[in-house]
Amino acid sequence: MQIIPAIDIIDGKCVRLTQGDYSRKTIYNEQPLEVAKAFEAAGLERVHLVDLDGAKAGTVTNWKVLESIATHTSLVIDFGGGIKNEADLEIVFSSGAAIATIGSLAVKNETLFVEWLQKYGPDKFLLGADVKEEKIAIAGWLETTDIDMYAFIEKYIDYGIKQIFCTDVSKDGKLEGPSVTLYQNIITKYPHLHFIASGGVSSMADLQNLKKIGCAGAIVGKAIYENRITLQQLKTM
């Protein structure tokens, strides 16, 4: 199982939110590049970079942070937040992201997203399925829908999507443990999916549990920043 540390950006700084609430923000580092270099030095190969300003504004905002990390590290970067049109997508790819993370757009503009899957190839995208009680949540979790999570995932698997990460919004940033049962259900239903767990990881035991149920990857954020999990420990995964 691949460990994918998260770097969430507001005003060019590395932050974490609790349950997607912009008013519950903790700044961990003024220099995201330093954070990314520490991850690389620990032997991690990929990073999940989230433009929270972009998610809120509806347009890619912190692309310079992406460019900086892509230029000065060899990390594989998946980048999301505010990708709403092809101009945004081109900025993300030209700034050094290997993979574009798409969430809200896949809900609100299926036609456009399917066009991108056909034009760029499904391997260039990571589909984000943010979930609240098995319903899809969008717009940086500011909005919930009545879209069934399984129907959403299945539809995009049919369009060729191979990588999906799922965040249980009720768990994110609370360090209460991930939604193992929910993720196990998804993996059982779609065994060929490259499934990445996200949200709630608080310890190495949580990561071992996710590995045990067959997650291909796990996104880890606050647990690293608050030293619940050390970079040294991650080397043992």
State the virtual CA torsion across 131, 135, 140, 141 in degrees, nearest 10: -90
Residue with tokens 């490259």: 194
- Has 51 been annotated as catalytic? no
Give the burial string for 115-131 (b: 16+ CB within 10 Å, else e): ebbeeeebebbbbbbbb
Q: Name which of 230, 88, 132 is nearest 79 in CA terms.
A: 88
Place of tokens 């190969």: 45
Helices and strands (DSSP H and E) totals, the chain: 11, 12
Q: Is 8 a catalytic residue?
A: yes
Can you tell me the distance from the alpha carbon of 107 to that of 194, in angstroms, rounded to the nearest whole number? 20
Residue whose structure tokens are 């942070």: 65
Which of the following is catalytic: 78, 88, 130, 172?
Answer: 130
Catalytic residue among 8, 51, 78, 88: 8
Active site residues: 8, 130
